[in-house]
């Protein structure tokens, strides 16, 4: 949906959209008003935007947002963008592959912003969104690799991970390719590179790898380079001495809540973890950012936990673990994953599974929640996993 509107038409669309949002009601109810105020092209834009505004505000923050369904899906949530902006030095910032400007809004707080995207639709929407938020910026539609970027400027870059409409975890297939990205950021004093959580990266330059989750969902892996390494380490409380820089840098998991509050876990991936065949007193489910960072074993070692069954399974411990990156609940029953037995155990406790957690099995959590909802009124958690060839079930409170 290229904007392709004059500045006056853009402003008029925004005014009508704002009035529709204030009035409320369905699109069908608002259509007579929209058609009476705007021509066909402008009316089409407003109708399309009206259906996306609730999602956009929830994800990006207050105000009107120019966006499409796809661009909104790819945009960075405001909590994540806010967190990353703290890792940038004060001064001019180039937001490359800027999308609709979700990151740029926050990066602009560090200094003058230049936003660049090769897609004219993205560039148009980015410019409009930054203007609506009073951001004094320069927006260009251009190839990010062909730009004359001052050597003093910091860079944030979000290479396209779906150049062929398919999500890619191999960074060599990004657009621009990751090798070109490293060559670009290696010339700058500070840089943040957004890549897929599952991407394995071999970098020719020193970098700190940070996985970010929001409300128990991994959003991205951020590669932190140059001066941003020390800024991120200071912000997150990560110890970075000379020896660390010359050896293996720690990985970090940043776990964000809906209100933007953060907690952090850092470590170096471990290769071994103790395993048990039966659950101990407590079941643990660690935040997906810790798992994505490959720090499950490190976390278990730090907190005296063991894996239940396979190394990729749930963790269990003999003592409670109080950490913002883990759900820890007391075991009240464990046994085989048999439908009749589970139903009998739940009914005996007059309980129902408020949530179902699965690992290494093909059970559908939503279906199980519905299946056992009538077993009682006491909420519990049902865990289903695999230990060798057997499937187990655990009930916790």
Q: In the chain, count H helices and then E strands.
A: 15, 17
2-29 tens-digit pLDDT? 566 888 999 999 999 999 999 999 999 9
DSSP state of 374: G
Residues 16 and 136 occupy one common structural domain = no
* DSSP annotation string for 66-127: ---HHHHHHSPPHHHHHHHHTTSPSS-EEEES-TTSHHHHHHGGGS-EEEEESSHHHHHHHH
| Burial class of 367 by CB neighbour count within 10 A (0 to 12, 13 to 18, 19+) | exposed
CATH number, domain containing residue 137:
3.40.50.150
Computed from CA positions of residues 44, 47, 51, 52, in that sequence, does the dihedral angle turn out positive or negative? Answer: positive
Q: How far apart are CA 190 and CA 194, in angstroms?
A: 14
Query: Has residue 1 been placed in a domain?
Result: no
* DSSP annotation string for 153-164: -EEEE--BS-TT
DSSP state of 325: T
Query: Has residue 128 been placed in a domain?
Result: yes
Query: Has residue 60 been placed in a domain?
Result: no
235-250 tens-digit pLDDT? 999 887 654 554 568 8
Residues 41 and 126 occupy one common structural domain = no
Residues 261 and 279 occupy one common structural domain = no
Residues 19 and 122 occupy one common structural domain = no
Query: Has residue 18 been placed in a domain?
Result: yes
Residues 221 and 257 occupy one common structural domain = yes
Residues 110 and 231 occupy one common structural domain = yes
Give the per-residue pLDDT at 312. 75
Q: Residue 24: phi, psi to the nearest 5?
A: 80, 175
Query: Where does a domain end: 249, 266, 283?
Result: 266
Q: Percent of the chain beyond pLDDT 70?
A: 95
Give the per-residue pLDDT at 1. 55
Query: Where does a domain end: 213, 244, 266?
Result: 266
Give the per-residue pLDDT at 165. 61
Q: Per the structure block, which two tokens stand in for 241?
A: 């001495």
Residues 26 and 138 occupy one common structural domain = no
Residues 243 and 341 occupy one common structural domain = no
Number of domains forming the structure of the chain: 3
Q: How far apart are CA 255 and CA 221, in angstroms?
A: 12
Give the per-residue pLDDT at 163. 67
Residues 47 and 117 occupy one common structural domain = no
Query: Has residue 358 been placed in a domain?
Result: yes
Query: Has residue 247 been placed in a domain?
Result: yes
Mean pLDDT, the chain, whole residue set: 92
| pTM of the full structure | 0.92
Residues 197 and 112 occupy one common structural domain = yes
122 within 8 A of 100, measured Cβ to Cβ: yes
Q: What range does the domain containing 41 cover?
A: 7-51
Residues 302 and 247 occupy one common structural domain = no
**HSE (CB half, 13 Å, CA atoms) of 255?**
19
Q: Residue 97: phi, psi to the nearest 5?
A: 55, 55
Residue located via tokens 């990729």: 312
Give the per-residue pLDDT at 170. 75
Q: How far apart are CA 149 and CA 29, in angstroms?
A: 49
Query: Where does a domain end: 248, 266, 284?
Result: 266
Residues 37 and 158 occupy one common structural domain = no
Give the per-residue pLDDT at 73. 94
Q: Residue 337: phi, psi to the nearest 5?
A: -90, 75
Query: Has residue 68 been placed in a domain?
Result: no
Query: Has residue 93 been placed in a domain?
Result: yes
Q: Which residues of the chain have pLDDT under 50?
A: 243, 246
Q: Per the structure block, which two tokens stand in for 324?
A: 């913002």
């Amino acid at each position: 949906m290229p904007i392709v509107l004059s500045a006056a038409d853009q402003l008029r669309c925004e005014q009508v959209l704002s009035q529709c949002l204030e009035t409320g009601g369905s699109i069908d109810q608002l259509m007579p008003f929209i058609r009476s105020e705007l021509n066909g092209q402008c009316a089409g834009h407003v109708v399309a935007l009206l259906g996306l505004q609730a999602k956009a505000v929830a994800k990006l923050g207050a105000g009107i947002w120019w966006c499409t369904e796809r661009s909104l899906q790819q945009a960075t949530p405001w909590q994540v963008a806010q967190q990353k902006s703290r890792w940038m030095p004060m001064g001019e910032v180039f937001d490359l592959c800027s999308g609709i400007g979700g990151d740029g809004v926050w990066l602009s707080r560090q200094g003058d912003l230049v936003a660049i995207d090769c897609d004219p639709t993205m560039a148009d929407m980015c410019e409009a969104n930054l203007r609506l938020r009073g951001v004094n910026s320069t927006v260009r539609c251009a190839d990010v690799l062909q730009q004359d970027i001052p050597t003093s400027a910091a860079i944030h870059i979000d290479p396209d991970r779906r150049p062929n409409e398919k999500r890619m975890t191999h960074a060599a297939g990004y657009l621009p390719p990751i090798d070109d990205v490293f060559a670009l950021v290696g010339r700058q004093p500070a840089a943040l590179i957004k890549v897929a959580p599952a991407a394995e990266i071999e970098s020719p330059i020193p970098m700190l790898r940070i996985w970010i989750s929001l409300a128990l969902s991994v959003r991205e892996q951020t590669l932190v380079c140059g001066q941003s390494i020390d800024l991120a380490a200071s912000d997150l409380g990560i110890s970075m001495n000379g020896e660390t820089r010359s050896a293996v840098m720690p990985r970090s998991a940043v776990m964000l809540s809906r209100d933007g509050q953060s907690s952090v876990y850092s470590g170096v991936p471990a290769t071994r973890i103790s395993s048990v065949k039966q659950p101990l007193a407590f079941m643990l489910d660690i935040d997906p950012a810790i798992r994505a960072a490959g720090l499950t074993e490190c976390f278990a070692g730090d907190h005296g936990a063991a894996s239940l069954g396979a190394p990729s399974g749930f963790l269990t411990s003999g003592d409670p673990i109080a950490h913002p990156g883990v759900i820890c609940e007391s075991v009240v029953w464990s046994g085989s994953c048999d439908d009749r037995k589970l139903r009998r155990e739940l009914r005996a406790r007059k309980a129902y599974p408020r949530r179902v957690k699965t690992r290494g099995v093909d059970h559908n959590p939503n279906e199980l929640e519905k299946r056992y909802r009538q077993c009682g009124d006491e909420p519990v958690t049902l865990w289903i996993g695999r230990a060798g060839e057997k499937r187990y079930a655990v009930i916790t409170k």
